């Protein structure tokens, strides 16, 4: 299949030639949190058929944005990972996520799939470095069967899939509660107060979370 092009000598147009096709940036989103097996990508991108997924991965490989790797023991299975060029798309994806949380996300529509693991990049996009200056904390989040954690280290954050070894605090909630927070209908503080989120560990650290991860209030794109 011939690759479509805007046929413009422009950095933006050339970039869109590479990642502007449907599903391509979402594949980048999935791989930004680490190498994934073909089946992992299928599970995270429901609605993307096997044939089209294979074609998009071949495109990313051909264009030098992704590569095949072998996962370390005990998995030792084939997977896909971003190259240096692919990793450098991270800030662009984060910027789209920040814009989307304000101007596009809104309420969850009927039939829309949701994966709690997407909150990994969502939280990273909302991180406030200045609020984390001098802090060294690990927060673990448990959303039903999904577990991920945030390592806050003196103005930086590293979001990781899987449990933390020694978290300062752990927060557990349902998928519905997370969706309510993402859509602006609730906050972490309200969820804890209402008993919809359970907290263990350092409660003082938990009180810092709203300042460390600022979830923007939704806005309407239509003029008043």
pLDDT tens profile 119-149? 889 899 999 999 999 999 999 999 999 999 9
Distance CA 124, CA 212 (A): 10
With b for 16 or more beta-carbon neighbours within 10 A and e for fewer, the 113-139 pattern comes to eeebbbbbbbbbbbbeeebbeebebbb
224 pLDDT band, cuts 50/70/90, is confident
The CATH code belonging to domain 11-88 is 1.10.10.10
The CATH code belonging to domain 116-212 is 3.30.1050.10
All structural domains of the chain with their residue ranges: 11-88, 116-212
Q: Which residue, among 112, 106, 116, has the nearest Cα to 142 in the 3D structure?
A: 116
Taking the CB of residue 221, how many other CB atoms lie within 10 A of it?
A: 8
Strand pairing class (169-173; 197-201):
antiparallel
pLDDT tens profile 160-199? 989 999 999 999 999 999 999 888 889 888 998 899 999 9
pLDDT tens profile 46-72? 889 999 999 999 999 999 999 999 998
Cis ω on the peptide bond leading into residue 214 (within 30° of 0)? no
Strand pairing class (169-173; 136-143):
parallel
The CA–CA distances, whole Å, from 65 to 1, 87, 173 equal: 19, 8, 35
DSSP-derived letter for residue 213 is: B
């Amino acid at each position: 299949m011939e690759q479509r092009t805007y046929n413009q000598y422009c950095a933006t147009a050339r970039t869109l030639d590479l990642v502007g096709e449907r599903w391509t940036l979402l594949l980048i989103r999935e791989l930004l949190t680490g190498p994934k097996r073909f089946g992992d990508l299928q599970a995270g991108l429901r609605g993307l058929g096997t044939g089209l997924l294979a074609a998009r991965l071949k495109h990313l490989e051909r264009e030098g944005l992704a590569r095949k790797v072998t996962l370390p023991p005990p998995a030792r299975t084939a997977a896909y990972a971003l190259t240096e060029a692919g990793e450098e798309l991270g800030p662009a994806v984060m910027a789209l996520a920040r814009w989307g949380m304000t101007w596009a996300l809104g309420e969850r529509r009927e039939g829309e799939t949701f994966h709690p693991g997407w909150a990994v990049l969502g939280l990273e996009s909302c991180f406030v470095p200045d609020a984390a200056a001098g802090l060294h904390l690990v927060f673990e989040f448990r959303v039903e069967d999904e577990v991920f954690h945030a390592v806050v280290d003196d103005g930086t954050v590293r979001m990781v899939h899987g449990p933390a070894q020694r978290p300062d605090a752990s927060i557990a909630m349902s998928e519905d509660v997370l969706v309510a927070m993402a859509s602006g209908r609730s906050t972490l503080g309200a969820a804890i107060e209402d008993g919809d989120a359970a907290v263990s560990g350092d409660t003082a650290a938990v009180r810092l979370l709203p300042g460390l991860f600022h979830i923007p209030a939704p806005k309407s794109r239509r003029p008043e």
